Amino acid sequence: MERIEGSFYTRGIHLSGWLYILALFSILLFLVLNMGLWQHFLGFLFPKESEVIYPRADLFTLLREHVRLVFVSSTAAVAVGVGAALFVTRPFGKAFLPIVNDLSSLAQTIPPVAVLALAVPFIGFGFKPTVLALFLYSILPVLRNTISGIESISPNLIEAAFGMGMKRSQILVKVELPLAIKVIMAGIRTSVVINVGTATAGAVVGAGGFGAPIISGLVRENPAFVLEGAISAAILAFVLDQTLAKFEQSLFRG
């Protein structure tokens, strides 16, 4: 069977792609589990600091906390964002399109740190307010991309689908989602990558994660701690972005 390699609609199995993702995760795990490596590296960069490794938690623990924050908030943002976008692009939800757009823009304009400050008195410190702030902050890219992905589909295609006897639900699953998935996934990737970075702010209210060494380093004027947290967060963002890219590709297999 003939296949067009490298095309947008590429089919077939790309094992090499998944091996690449596996390699990225292995490197990430290797790095967070080898504290000695960090000791050497940061000790070399900052010879004057007496302490170069954040002492209160190892990187593996911080990774787990960080991933949990991002996973919970992003999953909720994707569910709500895609759900709301699909709702306002259905005939019965069209009326809500402007208000949903405005609300999500509003959520994006409030800085996450402000959300944290406002939320803590009501729901306490730690995990919960951080997830709330991340969730609000990351809905917009998912929602916007899903809406524009669906709306960019030519009305002729929808008419053709109706004319051939597809039901609304079949049009959504067989026509709209496959055609919009690339744009939707781009929104999800943006949202997740932003989330990984923004989640470091959670450390201010005690949510842990890679933000903890960053905040601690800033307070104690120890650049080694800041770098430890920042490098880890950057690597995590890169690995998650690549994984989502790979996942997106695999969705195009017939």
Partner 1 sequence: MIELRSVTKKYGDQAAVMDLTLTVSEGEVCILIGPSGCGKSTTIKLVNRMLEPESGEIFVNGRNVRGFKPEFLRRRIGYVIQYVGLFPHMTVSDNIAVVPKLLSWEKGRISNRVDELLHMVGLRPETYRHKYPHELSGGEAQRIGVARALASDPPVLLMDEPFGAVDPLNRESLQAEFMKIQKELQKTVLFVTHDLDEAIRLADKIALMRDGAIVQYDTPENILAHPANRFVHDFVGTDRALKRLSRYSVATIMRRAYSLSMHDYPTTVHEYLKKQPWLRFLWIVGEKGELRGWLDTRDFKEQGAEAEVITEVKDPHFGLSDDSTLRDALSRMLAEGVKVLPVLDRERRVVGEISLKDIERVTEEVTERWSE
Determine contact, residues 11/3, Cβ cutoff 8 Å. Answer: yes
Angle of the 127-151 helix axis to the 112-123 helix axis, nearest 10:
130
Cα distance between residue 34 and residue 225, in whole Å:
16
Nearest to 69 by CA among 23, 117, 121, 129: 129
* Number of neighbouring beta carbons within 10 Å of residue 217: 20
Minimum CB distance to partner 1, residue 163 (Å): 4
Six token digits for residue 253: 């297999």
Give me the DSSP letters along 73-86.
HHHHHHHHHHHHHH
Minimum CB distance to partner 1, residue 177 (Å): 10
Residue closer to partner 1 by CB (options 241, 248) is 248
Distance of CA 67 to the CA centre of its chain: 10
- Angstrom CA distances, 81 to 77, 86, 114, 137, 177, stand at 6, 9, 22, 11, 14
Minimum CB distance to partner 1, residue 151 (Å): 16
Cα distance between residue 79 and residue 85, in whole Å:
10
Determine contact, residues 181/172, Cβ cutoff 8 Å. Answer: no
Residue closer to partner 1 by CB (options 11, 220) is 11
Residue closer to partner 1 by CB (options 6, 254) is 254
Interface residues with partner 1 (CB under 8 A) are 1-2, 4, 7, 9, 154, 156-157, 159-167, 170, 175, 178-179, 252, 254
- Angstrom CA distances, 249 to 12, 227, 235, 236, stand at 11, 33, 21, 20
Residue closer to partner 1 by CB (options 4, 99) is 4
Cα distance between residue 217 and residue 227, in whole Å:
9
Minimum CB distance to partner 1, residue 91 (Å): 14
Minimum CB distance to partner 1, residue 85 (Å): 19
Residue closer to partner 1 by CB (options 96, 252) is 252
Minimum CB distance to partner 1, residue 109 (Å): 35
Minimum CB distance to partner 1, residue 158 (Å): 9
Residue closer to partner 1 by CB (options 161, 193) is 161
Residue closer to partner 1 by CB (options 76, 179) is 179
